[in-house]
Structure 1
Amino acid sequence: MRRVHHLPLGLPLAIGLLLVVALGVAAPVEGFTGFGPMSASEQYGKAITFKVVLPGGAPDRLELLIDFGIDPDGTFVAPVEVAGSAATYTWDASDQYLTPNTPIKYRWRATSGSTVTESAAGSLRYADNRPGLDWHSAQMGDATVHWYGSSEARARRFGDLTGGAVSRAEKVLGHTLDGPVDIFVYVTHDDFFGALGPGAREWTGAATFPGIRTVFMWLGGGSSDYLDRALAHEVTHVVFFDATRNDFHQAPLWLNEGFAVWSEGQNADAQAATVRSEVSTGLISFSAMTDAFPIGARGSALSYAEGTTMVDRIMRMYGDKAMSGIAAAYRTGATDDEALRAGTGVPSAQLFSDYFRSFGAAEPKPVPAASIGPSIVRAGASPATAGQGTSGPNGAPAEPATGQGSLPLAVWAVVGVAIIALALGGLLLVRRQRRQRGDAA
């Protein structure tokens, strides 16, 4: 008679459990211990690259927080993958345009369990460092002028003119410039429009981005006299931005552009002639020039002319303090009607009506909205709707970082299958041994 060795029934299960424990603890991974050195670099029109070292390994989740501009409206948050003991995030500047000279602040945020850790803040100024643009700079009163090539003399003239333009605008608006202005002088058409980015109109000869206190001038935009007037115009926009800034809304475009054009020569004689020539055709309502001007040549020219002549009329009819009163009201968050009334003492409706009457023009009336016929909605299955997710700057879905201390789902699936196989194998072995014992008996 053969001796049969009995295998305990629980042994296969115990072996499986030991395998699970071994897989879970055999390769301990060092956890997140804080942030090491971090850096940011830019290549204009291509990419901004952010890097950070993670000496102790990856947290459960890593994010990059970016603030664009001097006073950003919000913070851009991007999930970032970790590779080993470092992480890199790339902002695709070829896909999402960013204005040159934009200040950037950034910080990293790590989450491990319930603990959230933020790095110190880093900073970067997005420079137009395209090949061939060898920038030089000079501080000149309220302006820092930047030039390349042989344009230093013209750049310094812009610096000299800035002080006078700023002083005149400050006096009228009753507000001091909040900080210096950067003026970048471009020589060629391609260099200039490459800085403005997509959507710039082809007739643009100068441009201002008040939110980052930056003016771009193109030397090929016009004659020397034109460039002098354009410089005063653009710098005035920055003063106006400071004087009317609030947390709720911007002053209407007709007031902003009207004051900038008026500031070029401190009068509106040429613009008044333009308005008079258009009376028979019809003028534009000021409510239609709050956010944008018409694109066409006639509509654009008339919008600038109406804004300029209205600003001139306000100062002539309501005194030297009218514009400063309007600006001060905007700084408190007043509505357009409240701000105009604060400076002139009359409701905006009367202000507009009196303006059109002064030119012998009928006041423009809103065009009735076209009626819309009944819509037909057919019942039935709705098409599938894609889920909403976070996208990176390149438009690709951004995935959260996977912690290095966790095992991938596929590994756990293999472990589970192995446990089941061991358990079934053990049961089959026990049954076989029992049959052999019965046969031996």
Structure 2
Amino acid sequence: MKRLSAIGYRPGRIVVLFVLLISAPLTPVFAQSQDVVEDAAPAAIPGLVVAEDSAAVEFPDGITFTLDASTTDPIAELELMYRAPGLETFSVELPPFEEGTTDLTIEHPIDLRAGELPPGIDINYHWRITEDDGDIVETPEQTILWGDDRYTWTPLSGPNVTVYTYDADPAFQQEILDSAERTITSLAESYSVELEQPVRIWAYAGKDDLYGALAPNSEPWIAGAAYPGLHMIMAILPPGDHGEVKRVVSHEISHQVLHQATDNPFNSPPQWLDEGLATYWQESGRDRFYSYALEIAATGEVPPLRTLNGNFPYDRDGATAAYSFSLSAVMYILDTWGDEGMAKLLATFEEGITYEDAVQQGLGISFDELDRQWREDLIADAQQFGAAGSTRFGDDGGGASPWPSLGQGLALAAESLILGLVVLIAVIAGGISVLRARRRAHSDEDEEGELRWGEWPAGLEPSGVPENVHGQRGW
């Protein structure tokens, strides 16, 4: 088997065909062998007779694809092409076969244990056959759900989101869906940002359950992952934990909406804007971050805003400060320019322009001027109101620490390490691709866009736990 790569692209906005029943429970997933796709009556393809074209999920190992077909002319090349919906390029497998034959009986497994494609997404696939005379025939594209079939998942769908649970009562599942849909509606009404493709939320009841869905040797503190480029979230939402729903769902949905609304080949919003908005739209936990920002600002030590454009620090204090300052920067923009100003600012990022140009066009001032005004305003607020017990949102009673109670916190994943490895692998794969003039790819977003979050490693726990410190741009 050969596996080839092609890089140098960004996933475009391709509409996913998705059947949604508004607020109505559906048949449990995997209960009816939906992890197997069969083509009982394939359409007629000139020069190709297909007896079987199927795929079967073998979680957590991968997917086995089966093709039983015959052609009129001898076969020179056989390719299995697959991708997640929304990606422009395919991953390509070259299953072994007898060159020159006209009959194919192929059973080809794809190993997905390394996390190349996370469970919980659809996989579109088809076969491409090149004959000796250069003619190419392809089978129709089919779709299979690459999912965690250890559990019998029950989906609940709204206009934009489908929530999957296996150990939660209908009321709790509805609460998750309502929080997600409510956030999408609020963001659209406030800033005219739309969710163009539906999002899936897979709600795991506990850490051990989720860990079984992650790649082998994943860090034991990981407590979730999200993939904006694949429109999917995996989260630990223990049944009945209403606080986690308020904290996690709205925050993560904000990232999904902003990603879709600003997606372009050149740039993405700065981290402080993405995280600040996500924290602002949480339904709990915001006052703790606001108070923490005031506490630091009271010392006069407010960093320049552009230092928060990229990745946040990994240590507890640095991460907490980054999220707190990001929230306060978003609050300042909304207090000064209102929803209309924020909407205009967000609209500029879809054009892929620089941060300086985006701020100038969106807010009418330079980035440096925004930075100066925000820091002066935050320090003035800190001196006037102090930090202890300061509230703006009334959702958690304020308090100087953003860490709530022991054992519930989340910690930053090693984002830079993940991205660094992705870039290195991409460069190597790209070289191979050029030399072989072949194409196999998986989305930049499904790795670079992967967001992970988790608990603090044993022995490194803070005195409390973080309210919402997580990897990259998600919980």
Same fold, TM-score > 0.5, yes or no: yes
Q: In structure 2, what is the equivalent of residue 48 of structure 1?
A: 63
CA 1:303–1:249 in structure 2 vs 1: closer, same or farther (change >3 Å)?
same
The answer on whether the counterparts of 1:170 and 1:239 sit within 8 Å (CA) in structure 2 is no
**CA shift for structure 1 position 315:** 1.0
**CA shift for structure 1 position 171:** 1.8
AA matched with 1:71: G
Q: Percent identity?
A: 23
CA distance in 2, matches of 1:231, 1:173: 19
**CA shift for structure 1 position 38:** 1.4
**CA shift for structure 1 position 270:** 3.3
| Alignment counterpart, residue 34 of structure 1, candidates 44, 48, 59 | 48
Q: In structure 1, what is the equivalent of residue 147 of structure 2?
A: 127
**CA shift for structure 1 position 44:** 2.4
CA 1:284–1:100 in structure 2 vs 1: closer, same or farther (change >3 Å)?
farther
Cα deviation 1:332-358 (Å, max 9, x = unaligned): 222222222222111222212322233
CA 1:124–1:250 in structure 2 vs 1: closer, same or farther (change >3 Å)?
farther
Cα deviation 1:64-120 (Å, max 9, x = unaligned): 22222x321532222221266222332111234422222222222222232222222
SS in 2 for 1:162: helix
Q: In structure 2, what is the equivalent of residue 234 of structure 1?
A: 252
Q: Does 1:307 align with 2:326?
A: yes
Q: In structure 2, what is the equivalent of residue 143 of structure 1?
A: 161
Q: Does 1:351 align with 2:370?
A: yes
Question: TM-score normalised to the size of structure 1?
Answer: 0.67
Any gaps of 5 or more consecutive residues in structure 1? 1-31, 362-386, 394-441
> Which runs of structure 2 are paired with 1:32-431 in the superposition (5 Å)?
33-34=47-48, 36=50, 37-56=52-71, 59-68=75-84, 70-72=85-87, 74-82=89-97, 85-112=104-131, 113-130=133-150, 133-197=151-215, 207-220=225-238, 223-265=241-283, 269-279=287-297, 280=299, 282-360=301-379
CA distance in 2, matches of 1:193, 1:43: 17
Cα deviation 1:93-150 (Å, max 9, x = unaligned): 12344222222222222222322222221222211112xx111122234332211134
SS in 1 for 2:203: strand
The answer on whether the counterparts of 1:53 and 1:85 sit within 8 Å (CA) in structure 2 is yes
The answer on whether the counterparts of 2:168 and 2:239 sit within 8 Å (CA) in structure 1 is no
The answer on whether the counterparts of 1:151 and 1:187 sit within 8 Å (CA) in structure 2 is no
CA distance in 2, matches of 1:95, 1:341: 43
CA distance in 2, matches of 1:351, 1:197: 42
**CA shift for structure 1 position 62:** 1.1
SS in 2 for 1:319: helix
| Equivalenced residues, count | 334
SS in 2 for 1:168: helix
The answer on whether the counterparts of 2:268 and 2:352 sit within 8 Å (CA) in structure 1 is no
The answer on whether the counterparts of 2:162 and 2:177 sit within 8 Å (CA) in structure 1 is yes
**CA shift for structure 1 position 267:** 10
SS in 2 for 1:264: coil
CA 1:82–1:221 in structure 2 vs 1: closer, same or farther (change >3 Å)?
same
SS in 2 for 1:85: strand
The answer on whether the counterparts of 1:65 and 1:76 sit within 8 Å (CA) in structure 2 is yes
**CA shift for structure 1 position 202:** 5.9
Larger Rg: 1
CA 1:80–1:205 in structure 2 vs 1: closer, same or farther (change >3 Å)?
closer
Question: TM-score normalised to the size of structure 2?
Answer: 0.63
Cα deviation 1:193-219 (Å, max 9, x = unaligned): 333546877666554322232233313
CA distance in 2, matches of 1:198, 1:169: 37
The answer on whether the counterparts of 1:206 and 1:221 sit within 8 Å (CA) in structure 2 is no
SS in 2 for 1:82: coil
Cα deviation 1:355-381 (Å, max 9, x = unaligned): 2233449xxxxxxxxxxxxxxxxxxxx
The structure in which a higher percent of residues are helix is 1
CA distance in 2, matches of 1:290, 1:267: 23
**CA shift for structure 1 position 285:** 4.2
Cα deviation 1:249-298 (Å, max 9, x = unaligned): 32222211110100114996432321233344944444343342211111
The answer on whether the counterparts of 2:183 and 2:254 sit within 8 Å (CA) in structure 1 is yes
